[in-house]
Amino acid sequence: MIEALYAILLGYHTLKMGSSYALEDRESQKARLHDIAASVVESCRAHPLWFMVGKKRVEWPLAGCSAELATALKWESGLLVEIHSGARLGPAGERGLPQLHRGVTRIPDPRWRITAEEWRSIGGLGLEATRIQTDLAVRVLGWHVYRCQIAFKGAEIMHLARLFVEYHHPSGWPCTSYDEKYGSGAVILPKGSNWVGLLVSRKNQETAGHGLRLGLDRMSLRRADDCQRIYWNLSTHGKDS
Model confidence pLDDT, tens digit, residues 178-189: 655 544 445 555
Does residue 213 have a pLDDT over 50? Answer: no
Indicate the pLDDT class of residue 34, thresholds 50, 70 and 90: very high
- pLDDT value of position 175: 80
Phi, psi (deg, nearest 5) at residue 44: -70, -35
Judge residue 208's burial from the number of C-beta atoms within 10 Å of its C-beta, 0-12 exposed, 13-18 middle, 19 or more buried. exposed
The pLDDT score that the predictor gives to residue 189 is 55
Mean pLDDT over 115-137 rounds to 97
- Phi, psi dihedrals of residue 210, rounded to the nearest 5°: -90, -5
Q: Tell me, yes or no, whether 93 lies in a domain.
A: yes
Question: 1 or 172, which is more confident?
Answer: 1
Residue 182 is predicted with a pLDDT of 47
**% of the chain beyond a pLDDT of 90:** 61
CA distance 4 to 25: 22
Asked if residue 194 has pLDDT above 80, the reply is no
Q: Which of 46-50, 57-61, 196-200 has the lowest mean pLDDT?
A: 196-200
In a domain, 33, yes or no: yes
Query: Is residue 143, in this structure, part of any structural domain at all?
Result: yes
Number of alpha carbons in the 13 Å side-chain half-sphere of residue 191? 3
| Identity of the residue numbered 51 | F
Residue 126 lies in a domain: yes
pLDDT at 202: 42
pLDDT tops 60 at residue 15 = no
**Considering only CA atoms, which of 179, 156, 95 is closest in space to residue 129?**
95
* pLDDT recorded at residue 238: 66
Is 171 domain-assigned? no
| pLDDT at position 101 over 50 | yes
By residue range, what is the domain housing residue 95? 2-151+222-238
- Position 154 confidence tier, pLDDT thresholds 50, 70, 90: confident
Instruction: Please tell me the total count of domains within the chain.
Output: 1
Q: Is residue 61 part of a domain?
A: yes
- Region of residue 75 (phi > 0: left; psi between -120 and 50: alpha; otherwise: beta): alpha
Among 10-24, 30-44, 214-228, the range with the most confident prediction by mean pLDDT is: 30-44
pLDDT score at 241: 55
- For residues 47 and 38, give the distance between their C-alpha atoms in angstroms, rounded to a whole number: 14
Query: How far is 76 from 132, CA to CA, in rounded Å?
Result: 17
- pLDDT digit string, tens, across residues 61-89: 999 999 999 999 999 999 999 999 999 99
Q: Is residue 174 part of a domain?
A: no
pTM of this structure: 0.84
Q: What is the mean pLDDT of the chain?
A: 83
